[in-house]
Amino acid sequence: MVTQISTHTADPSSATQMIVSALTQAIVSHRLKPGTKLAEQKIANQFGVSRTLVRQALFQLSQHQLIRMEPARGAFVASPSVTEAKQVFEVRRMVEAEMTRAFVRQVTAKQIKVLQMHVKAEQSALARADTASRSERTELLGDFHVRMAELMGNQVLAELLLELISRCSLITLMYQSDSAAEHSHDEHDQIVQALAAKDEALAVRLMDEHLIHVQANLSFEPVMAPSDDLAQAFV
């Protein structure tokens, strides 16, 4: 359950960022579905803050394309169109190909160890079938790509990927088949092996093929219905 934020001990900007982080995490882990209405008062009650702080957080999320603001209707978790979904993956392929190339050229044994541990955590989450592990699995599969940027020490790239992958989480929730997650894990393992071998051409090819496969597993027939149970999303 989300701990309420004390507006007496935390400054407003810090409290706003905590709300942004919690909502982003709920969206990325698929606990908030596309189309879900984000009622300001419900969120304010959930976190124990004012609606003003919630409104500021929702505005930031709208700037990152994770939610949409509709006049006279309020805020909703974004529902990416098919065109937007394809464009997001096009951008990821361009960015991550160059990231992988740069990673190979400066890779260290310590970096490979971190990625190997991450892949093991993915495998552990995949081995469990409960709701919590599915949420963890979704986060880990996306975090693999952000982790590579972080290990390179490129915070700007890490932030860019985090935004793209957050948008991809909405896309996969709407359009991806259930079997795709296991394939993603296997491909992450192969990418790490290529990075460890310092095989630049193979690593770049595997990363590109991985993203192509993720996109290929999108049916572009949304089946997820939105939910109004905001409290459950933060459990």
pLDDT in tens, 165-220: 888 877 876 676 556 667 888 999 999 999 999 999 999 999 999 999 988 887 76
pLDDT average, residue stretch 146-168: 91
pLDDT average, residue stretch 132-158: 85
Q: Is 100 within 8 Å of 152 (Cβ atoms)?
A: no
Residue 41 located in a structural domain: yes
Same domain flag for 74 and 86: no
Task: Please tell me the predicted confidence (pLDDT) of residue 228.
Answer: 57
Q: How far apart are CA 54 and CA 46, in angstroms?
A: 10
Q: How far apart are CA 46 and CA 44, in angstroms?
A: 5
Please, what sign has the CA dihedral across residues 160, 162, 164, 167? negative
The phi and psi torsions of 153 (rounded to 5 degrees) equal 80, 15
Task: Please tell me the predicted confidence (pLDDT) of residue 8.
Answer: 45
Q: 38 forms bridges with which residues in the sheet?
A: 75
Same domain flag for 138 and 208: yes
Residue 222 located in a structural domain: no
Where would I find the H helices in 38-154?
40-47, 51-63, 82-106, 109-127, 131-151
Residue 30 located in a structural domain: yes
Task: Please tell me the predicted confidence (pLDDT) of residue 232.
Answer: 60
Count of the separate structural domains present in the chain: 2
Per-chain mean pLDDT for the chain: 84
Residue 129 located in a structural domain: yes
Q: Is 115 within 8 Å of 143 (Cβ atoms)?
A: no
Same domain flag for 116 and 191: yes
Task: Please tell me the predicted confidence (pLDDT) of residue 155.
Answer: 93
Q: How confident is the model at residue 230 (pLDDT cuts 50, 70, 90)?
A: low
Same domain flag for 161 and 96: yes
- Give the tokens for residue 172: 């996969």
pLDDT average, residue stretch 66-74: 91
Residue 100 located in a structural domain: yes
Is 137 or 10 the better-scoring residue by pLDDT? 137
Same domain flag for 202 and 173: yes
Task: Please tell me the predicted confidence (pLDDT) of residue 141.
Answer: 85
| Residue span of the structural domain in which 33 resides | 12-78
Provide the pairing of β-strand 37-38 with 67-70.
Answer: unpaired
- Is 80 exceeded by the pLDDT of residue 138? no
Tell me how far apart the 2 most distant CA atoms of the chain are, in Å. 56
Burial of 163 (0-12, 13-18, 19+ CB in 10 A): middle
The region that residue 222 occupies, defined by phi over 0 for left and psi between -120 and 50 for alpha, beta otherwise, is beta
Domain end marker among 21, 53, 78 = 78
Task: Please tell me the predicted confidence (pLDDT) of residue 9.
Answer: 43
Domain end marker among 78, 101, 126 = 78
- Give the tokens for residue 213: 């496969």
Same domain flag for 147 and 165: yes
Domain end marker among 78, 108, 134 = 78
Q: Is 174 within 8 Å of 190 (Cβ atoms)?
A: no
Same domain flag for 153 and 39: no
Strand order in the sheet with 74-77: 37-38, 74-77, 67-70
